[in-house]
Copies of this chain bind each other. A is one copy, B any other.
Amino acid sequence: MEETTTENKILEAAKKIFRQKGMEGARMQEIADEAGINKALLHYYFRNKEKLFLAVFEDSFIQIIPNLSDIFTQCITIEEKISLFVESYIKILEPYPDLPMFILSESRRDPSILINVLERSGIHPKEITLLLNSEMEKGNIIRQNPAHLMVNIVSLCIFPFLARPLLEIVMLKKQGLNPKDFYNNRMAETKDFILRAVIPNYQKR
């Protein structure tokens, strides 16, 4: 069941505002309004803006680097693993379309906020590298640099969220396309594109 303590109300409000506007764009007053409390209470619970922001950032980071590592230890083919990863990742992001820009933009503003949070992150690229190399040995996936392959997959999943406002305007004004249709097809198209670049003789099924 939901905890509706004051501290929790503040955190939820802060998540909403910080993720939308970033550390520098957010206003403590706006967060207080959103939480339905007074501005002074923010400082009572979190001392200052920086500390409140860090709480939101860490929570957000854990959410965007989801616990998907178990996908790669399951007993399924590499094709199914990649498929499942892409589907799960896009599904996780869909309810929080602001998260990717928030994380990347704040990481760029102040990379030091990453240091603490990376430890407890559940990112283990070394293990995935081993898996990919072994699958290449077996001929199950096309030979390529594993680091680039991982970045490629993540790029294709995340970029449409990052560029959403720009993409929507371009589609509407320059192509006469409905952005909703685009985003509805996105998961399937992403999966097929990746698998064509990765699986030998891949045919859509």
A79 at the interface (CB under 8 A from B): no
Category for how many chain A residues contact B? 35 or more
- Residues of B near A118 (CB, < 8 A) are 169-170, 173-174
Take A104-B162, A159-B159 as given contacts and tell me if A151 and B167 are in contact as well, using a CB distance cutoff of 8 Å: yes
Q: Smallest CB-CB separation from A98: which chain B residue?
A: B108
B145 touches A189 (CB 8 A): yes
Chain A contact residues: helix, strand, loop or mixed: helix
A136 at the interface (CB under 8 A from B): no
A180 at the interface (CB under 8 A from B): no
- Residues of B near A173 (CB, < 8 A) are 118
Nearest first, the 10 closest Cβ-Cβ pairs linking A and B are A155-B159, A148-B189, A197-B197, A196-B197, A24-B24, A111-B165, A107-B166, A193-B197, A155-B155, A107-B165
What would 7 A/B residue contacts be, using CB atoms closer than 8 Å? A101-B108, A118-B173, A126-B176, A147-B171, A148-B182, A148-B185, A155-B156
